[in-house]
Chains A and B, each alone.
Chain A
């Protein structure tokens, strides 16, 4: 499998210039008429803000794409794909915050089941059971 930078990576690459006192330029040469490519080119031309680019990148990304630049750093998931599963991730984060704010040690009877699996997970992160 071959990977290259995604748009965020390209943005970071562009950051190689603009480090001195001179006005800097980035010229994107492209071919083809793909709508997505044109949209992405526009985003790159319109902004130098990495956060804006990463948000747009996420929007424009179809399922099955990967977050190239981050790939090495992403914790390994057996089944989840952070991009395809973004809607689930958002729900999960709400649930997780709710649980932790009420029951940090997962001691309530209704969270007993979670306590066991979360501890297993912590072990696998290499930090030992808490």
Chain B
């Protein structure tokens, strides 16, 4: 059986120097090498005649050498030219600084060449082509894999190395999927799939190979996550929170009533918390569905049962907002909340850390700062993470290690379909708040074209005259961040000068320092700004209840296919 853990430097054609380059690509072992999958393929199997070739395209030609290579020198550079031709035309093959090519061609011999065609002024050239003697299919005459990144290794070199590796492993890879699964889903064996993903003979070979490898990757991930979920639940003893202190007590203190969905989710959470099993639950709910209230209830129960709770938010501004909301309701119940973010003074921080250890702080709210090693709890019982983007199993583990198997509640504002939730959060139980509070009015949304510009402006004016505020959002532009910035500033100036000279307009973009952004958001919140022109950075932001209108410029730009990587 083959040793897949073998250092890549011992693969034929690698050696210590190339191994270093491969390491930079994250390839350390034979296994890494054979799972370094192509990002695309180039079909070099369909020859064209010189007559058919189009200027600028990459093409495979089958030609006879009609001269020897001639070499021209300019300064340190050299150029090699070879006269070639087929039955339709004559052409030149051109290379630069490839002196060694001199002896590679013989007059009258047939070759396959693949390269970029230059066809101008009735002269045809093929630039720096790769080639084989006719009948050999090393570089041409087949479907060739293109690898994502090759560092200083050329595509040809990396392809040759993987080819060598495949010769070594093909037929010797031990199967990773059970026979019954392979049969039931008509999947290729690991050996065939690995060979065909790198060197497919036909494009459908690649499809079948890919299907098998994708199936395996997803299945293993899904199984691992499920195993994690069952293992945590069944085998780790968690905390049984008090059954005396019911969440219902707390709900009475709220200035609003819960939706049915919130009530149902709270039941699920309370049941988890009271059971000796460790809670590992994902709480999904749309923006504004009331996830914070749920977190507050769970934290209340934890504190009343004699434990501390930690709430982790993705940004300082959100953490601060959480603190405000928590304090509004919990301070009156004698529960002490504190904020830990990276901006606070050293002295304040030391004080917080001390009181946290002494158990004087009941609920700690913060950013990633709460993960630091010197943050120690007296008795951490509940971890709530508010995830803009998934924090990852690792980070969540880091925070749970600060207590004795605390219960974990993960909140996400991204409503994702169930199939995806299962693979993204497969290690968690899932609760969904699928209902908005009844007093929340639907955000009336209209799609308009340029012709309506004036009516839109008048509408904004009317709202501002009534004392409201507005967001104007422009999407990122493709060319680069500098032009995003420019477009925001320009748009803001246009509104200020041409449309709303009477209002206070400010722009905001992602390249500003966080402090600057926070200051602007605060001014907007305090109604010192009427219109905020911004990139999508306000996605994560402060609540500004007085702002009731959002205009999205160039809305067609959102959700378009992203630029995929460009050749080479």
Contact = CB atoms under 8 A, between A and B. Distances in A.
Contact of B288 (A8, A19, A88, A96): A19
A125 B224 contact: yes
Q: Is the interface of B mostly helix, strand, loop or mixed?
A: mixed
Contacts of B440: 18
B219 A92 contact: yes
Contacts of B475: 4-5
Interface string B527-568: 000000000101101011111111111111111011111000
A127 B397 contact: yes
A12 to B, nearest CB: 5
* Residue from the set A18, A67, A71, A126 with the largest chain B CB neighbour count within 10 Å: A18
A114 B441 contact: no
Contacts of B220: 114, 117-118, 121
Contacts of A37: 556
Given A9-B539, A50-B286, A75 B550 contact: no
B417 A72 contact: no
A16 B541 contact: yes
Given A4-B557, A27-B446, A127 B222 contact: no
Contacts of B557: 4
B427 to A, nearest CB: 9
Contacts of A38: 447
B117 to A, nearest CB: 28
Interface stretch (B55-63, B210-218, B237-245, B357-365): B210-218
Nearest to B535: A4
Contact of B223 (A41, A91, A100): A100
B416 interface: yes
Nearest to A112: B178
B153 interface: no
Given A16-B550, A27-B551, A92-B218, A99 B223 contact: yes
Nearest to A55: B417
B436 interface: yes
A14 B547 CA distance: 11
Contacts of B35: 78
Interface stretch (B225-233, B291-299, B497-505): B225-233
Interface of A: 1-32, 34, 37-38, 40-42, 44-45, 48-51, 53-55, 57-58, 62, 64-75, 77-82, 85-86, 88-93, 95-97, 99-100, 104, 106, 110-114, 116-118, 121-122, 125-127, 130
Interface of B: 35, 37, 174-181, 185, 197, 210-211, 213-224, 226-228, 230-231, 286-288, 387, 389-394, 397, 413-417, 419-420, 422-424, 432, 434, 436, 440-450, 452-453, 456, 459, 463, 468, 471, 473, 475-478, 480, 536, 538-539, 541, 543-559, 561-565
24 contacts: A4-B476, A6-B559, A9-B536, A13-B473, A15-B443, A22-B548, A24-B443, A25-B444, A40-B559, A53-B415, A70-B414, A73-B389, A81-B214, A82-B423, A88-B215, A89-B218, A92-B218, A93-B423, A96-B219, A113-B174, A113-B175, A118-B220, A121-B220, A121-B224
Given A6-B558, A71-B389, A118-B220, 10 more contacts: A5-B539, A11-B287, A24-B550, A26-B549, A64-B564, A68-B559, A73-B391, A75-B221, A75-B424, A80-B217
